[in-house]
Each structure stands twice: as structure tokens, then as C-alpha cells.
Amino acid sequence: MNFTRIRNLLLCSTLPLFAAACGGGGDDDGGSSGPTGAADLLITDATVDGLLSFTVKVQSLRLVDATSGALTVNVLEEDLAIELIGAGLAPRWVSRARLPVGTYSGVQATLEDAAPVALNLSGAPVAVTQVTPTFTTSFATPLSVTAGNFPQIVLDIDLGASLTGDVATPPITFNPTGILTTQAGGGATPIAIDEVEGAVRSVNG
């Protein structure tokens, strides 16, 4: 069966209206005491033929230093379950990531070892074999993060390229792969969102 990608998964676009009110993994300085830049984490959905839903649990997202290959700290505060197939047209805001000033070659994502949860169009479970929980996607051109700058980082997790097999004769195989694109200085442009993903830590009042 040919899985056809309809839409993309966006990670780390920009949402300035949450800058003052929302934290997330971005409250961490990325393991550096020096100057930092910031990027917001947003997620939108994707669709493939033959599946109603496809849910993965992301345990970490880290940027890769272009010179040393060292990884930043995890920009997620906790594991995040993401349903990759949906009808929403606007992205979901997840977290603001604070990153040490520097140049980065890519993003490393780590998923839960357990297989993703997939449902066919009738809502019945479909067995999935996950090839690897960790994958790294490289920027076409290394990303420069500077103090006060808000680059857009777009990670397209291409389910059409990541899934093989036939839903009618499971298991299907999930070998996660992605494409990274960036836009410098995009943080000055507000965007609409569909949902805010996160956890309520405390309530005052």
C-alpha cells in the first residue's frame, strides 16, 4: 500500500503572543550559562491513506551542535503523546525552547520504545513495528541561533516515507524520517493556533 502524505508535522515554529505567559522546556537555558535564543514548539497534523489515527509518544527533542555534535538538553519538560493524523488546519502550540546561542546541524528526536498506536478507518487497532525510537534530521543549511532571535524550525515527519506495509495485512513498519526547514526571524509574525498541548502545573487564586 502506498501511504500518501497529505500534511506536515511542524515542530518549533513561532508564536510571540505566548512569549510572556508560557514556558515549557524553554525555561531551561539549554545547559548553557551564556546568552540564549528562543523558538516556540508547535505541532500540526498529517494524514495517510488507510489510517484513522497514528499516535507516537515523543520523549525528547534536542538540537545538534554543528561543530561538536553535542546535543542540547531536552526541550520538552515531559513525554508528549502526539496524534499525527487529524483534520485540524492550524498548528498546536506545545512549548517554548530556549537554546544556547550557536550553530546547529539538525534535530534529534527520541520516541518511546513501545510501538506507536495506529487505528484503521474502522477504528480497529493496526499492529505497528517500530524500527528505531531515535532519529536525527539535518538542516539543509546549518541553523544559527542568536540572542533575541526567533527562527522558525519546521520538522516534517513524513509518514508517507516513514510507513511501509499494508494496513489490511499488518503489521506495518514505522521507520521515522523527517525533513527540516527554517526561516530566520519569523518570531515577529503571529500565527493562528488550533490547540495548546501541555500540562497545568499549578493554579493560583
Pairing of strands 152-157, 178-183: antiparallel
d(CA 153, CA 139): 9
Q: Say what the pLDDT of residue 180 is.
A: 78
pLDDT tens across 163-196, in order?
Answer: 999 999 999 999 998 877 776 655 545 555 555 5
Q: To the nearest 10°, the Cα dihedral for 165, 167, 173, 177?
A: 90
The mean of the pLDDT values for the chain is 76
What are phi and psi for residue 160, nearest 5 degrees? Answer: -60, -35
Q: Say what the pLDDT of residue 9 is.
A: 43
pLDDT tens across 3-22, in order?
Answer: 544 344 444 443 433 333 34
Q: Is the pLDDT of residue 92 over 50?
A: yes
Q: Is the pLDDT of residue 203 over 80?
A: no
